[in-house]
């Protein structure tokens, strides 16, 4: 089975830094994704980690520890437009390329 | 680019009728297409995976006779919700992965289905 956990909601202040955690227990592992989703829209790709460590991309960074089944998404210099849901997804092993999503974290950025 | 479209974006239908949702990869060939369902304020739930020309693989608990998936070409997959009921009302999202860089899925804009 697949079990992927994230906090349900978070609030942070404009200009600040926020870290969204994701823990997973899956039958197989072939990479972890973070997506951003605004209400009523499709998810958009943010980052992909398959090896341990930190991947940085502008204001967004993502970290992975496979031994701990843990990842986090770090958002710096928060902007109001960053208010959205952030979805952690684990890719299954094998050729299916299936993604299993966590519950999503709804981030609200306040002035 | 990697653009995926869905049609319709929004549909309202009556109980007992069937609804077809199309998912197209506009500028690439999709080896695999995925169908997800999303309830309000919930995350995406994978319903099924389909490869062109072969039968879809459904996730546990998803009724394959109710949610018919056809993947007729490398750029088109369809999801038909048969004999729809109000509990089928949901946001349905498709995604597609390329032949190359197959680790990434590109999502369509979603279809909001309301069954009255």
Each residue's pLDDT tens digit, A53-111 = 999 989 999 999 999 999 999 999 999 999 999 999 998 776 566 788 988 999 999 99
The C-alpha atoms of residue B44 and residue B71 are separated, in whole angstroms, by 21
The CB-side HSE value for A69 (13 A sphere, CA atoms) comes to 12
Interface of B with A (CB under 8 A): 32, 34, 36, 41-46, 49, 57, 91, 93, 95, 97, 102-110, 112
The C-alpha atoms of residue B7 and residue B11 are separated, in whole angstroms, by 9
What number of other Cβ atoms are within 10 A of residue A27's Cβ? Answer: 11
How far from B84 is each of B23, B63, B80, B109, B114, CA to CA, in Å?
19, 12, 10, 22, 9
**What would the pLDDT profile of A20-64 be if each residue is shown by its tens digit?**
999 999 888 889 999 999 988 888 889 999 999 999 989 999 999
A&B contacts, CB < 8 Å: 57
State the smallest CA–CA distance between residue A93 and chain B in angstroms.
11
Q: What is the CA radius of gyration of chain B?
A: 13
State the smallest CA–CA distance between residue B81 and chain A in angstroms.
20
The C-alpha atoms of residue B42 and residue A13 are separated, in whole angstroms, by 24
For the CA atoms of A3, A48, B38, B107, the dihedral, rounded to the nearest 10 degrees, stands at: -150
Could you give phi then psi for residue A80, rounded to 5 degrees?
A: -60, -35
Provide, as residue numbers in chain B, all residues whose Cβ is less than 8 Å from the Cβ of A102.
43
The CB-side HSE value for B39 (13 A sphere, CA atoms) comes to 6
State the smallest CA–CA distance between residue B15 and chain A in angstroms.
23
């Amino acid at each position: 089975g697949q079990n992927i956990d994230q906090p349900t909601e978070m609030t942070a202040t404009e200009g600040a830094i926020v870290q969204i955690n994701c823990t997973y227990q899956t039958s197989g592992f072939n990479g972890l994704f973070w997506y951003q989703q605004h209400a009523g829209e499709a998810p958009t790709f943010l980052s992909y980690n398959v090896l341990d460590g930190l991947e940085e991309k502008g204001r967004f960074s993502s970290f992975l520890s496979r031994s701990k089944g843990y990842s986090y998404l770090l958002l710096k210099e928060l902007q109001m437009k960053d208010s959205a849901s952030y979805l952690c997804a684990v890719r299954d092993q094998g050729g299916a390329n299936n993604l299993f999503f966590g519950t999503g974290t709804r981030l609200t950025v306040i002035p | 680019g990697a653009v995926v479209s869905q049609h319709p974006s929004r549909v309202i239908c009556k109980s007992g009728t069937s609804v077809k949702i199309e998912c197209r990869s506009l500028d690439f060939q999709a080896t695999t297409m995925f169908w997800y369902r999303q309830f309000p304020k919930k995350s995406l739930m994978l319903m099924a995976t389909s490869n062109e020309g072969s039968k879809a693989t459904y996730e546990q608990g998803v009724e394959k006779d109710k949610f018919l998936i056809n993947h007729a070409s490398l750029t088109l997959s369809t999801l038909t919700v048969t004999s729809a009921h109000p509990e089928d009302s949901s946001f349905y999202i498709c995604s597609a992965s390329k032949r190359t860089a197959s680790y990434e899925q590109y999502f369509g804009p979603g279809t909001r289905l309301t069954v009255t």
